[in-house]
Amino acid sequence: MSKRTTGALKSGAQVNSLPRTLSKLGICSRSGAIKFITAGLVKVNGKTITDINYRTDLNKDKISLEGIEAKKEEKIYLMLNKPRGLVTTASDEKGRDTVYACFNDSGLPYIFPVGRLDKASEGLLLFTNDTAWGEKITNPASGIEKTYHVQVNSIAGEDLLKRIMAGVKTGGGILNVKSASLLRPGEKNCWLEIILDEGKNRHIRKIFESLGIQVLRLVRIKIGRVQLGSLAKGTYRSLTKEEIKSFF
């Protein structure tokens, strides 16, 4: 342990790696911070730092990015009605449109998505610059329920619902749901309501793929007690204080 780190810990300071500090300040993601640091764009107390393991004290150190002081941003908590066709990432190596297109010209500081929705999926997506809040929600141990409305190219009977509820074996193991129910029947397809209290990559799509059923639309309408409601597609709003606190 370096003398710098030892002294900081003794004084009860809030010590983090430089990438973590920039993330906590709401300036950028940790991966983005690493790029800035290694490019020599970050200074701590007037000294250029290129070591991504460099430890900083949030309460004492003066940090700047490209000559501009990095100050802690006001905490922001948003919900977006994600349209179909956007990828949930800040930038895409394939040049695809991302969810950040919905925030163009908004003047917002750096925010990150809390969880994911794949390109073909729609609906409720949370954003924040509060890393601790976001990490608590995405932690698998939180057990926060997420509700989806899913249109499939099949007529769902009790047998199909029982198979889904029993857990579906895929190449990655058993995928379970909290509940599965018929929402709206149809002649050739139907809408189901699926509730998860866990969330693996393409969780619902993999379940139906393994059953030989095609997902036509997948819309997340609720996370915990926060509901999508009448929010227009491609638009966002701030969460209320009650919604922010409702997760914990």
Which residues are identified as catalytic? 118
Nearest to residue 43, comparing CAs of 17, 30, 62, 71? 62
Cβ 243 vs Cβ 124: under 8 Å:
no
**Tokens at 98, concatenated:** 């991302």
**Tokens at 96, concatenated:** 């695809």
Rg (CA), the chain: 22
Return d(Cα 220, Cα 231) in angstroms, integer.
13
Cβ 192 vs Cβ 150: under 8 Å:
yes
Three-state SS at 73: coil
In angstroms, how far is the first alpha carbon of the chain from the final one? 35
Return d(Cα 201, Cα 52) in angstroms, integer.
29
Instruction: Find how far residue 94's CA is from the centre of its chain.
Output: 20
Token pair 């190449």 is found at 171
φ and ψ of 223, to 5 deg: -130, 120
- Residues ≥6 apart with Cβ < 8 Å to 225: 243, 246
Three-state SS at 78: strand
